[in-house]
Structure 1
Amino acid sequence: MRYLSVTTLAAIAVGVALTAAAQKAPPPPKLEPVPEPPPPPAEIANDPELEPQITIVRRDNETIEEYRVSGRLTMVKVTPRHGRPYYLVADGADGTFIRRDSLDTGLRVPLWVLFSF
């Protein structure tokens, strides 16, 4: 009981001392207003060359969608009448294509948590 009253008395004394010190603090210096921020840049116009151009060719047994960017063929989607669609994706600048059954590359980045604070 004695330690409790001493601790309480010490806490009250520290609180009174901090309050008195805060009241005697000098006022803050005169602050200058912050200048106005510059206006945001104008919105970039959509460049039609950067948008993919899609050409759809329908045949009796399949539908072919060609995707071109800047006039270069980048991907072909082939949808057969019976079966699942597949993709031919440009491998590089040499004009070769790789067949894929989906656009998912299969890359799985580990999301391990090593440290947490």
Structure 2
Amino acid sequence: MMGAMFSVSLQAKDRPVDLQPLEDIPPPAISNQENPDEPEITIIKKQGETIEEYRINGELYMMKVTPEHGVPYYLHKEDQDGGWTNVGPNPPLSIPKWTIFRF
């Protein structure tokens, strides 16, 4: 017990006289979004088709295209340069680009 009193008096002796209390720590900021991991979905309807844009942190990463007559398909962002890949029930169309004749 004597050792504990000695250490407390030693700590009090080493403190400066002009100490000021620190301000209270502010509470952590509360996000406006309920779950920031969920994407923001924007629905655009034009000329019979519906386009749903999916964004996370404001960056468009996927689109769902639902044509008026047909099967919906998805376009996923392939890379940072803006390339898009068709992901859906039908594989992407492969167009031959051969040069047969050149005039």
Structure 1 length-normalised TM: 0.44
Structure 2 length-normalised TM: 0.50
Structure number with higher helix proportion: 1
Structure with larger Rg: 1
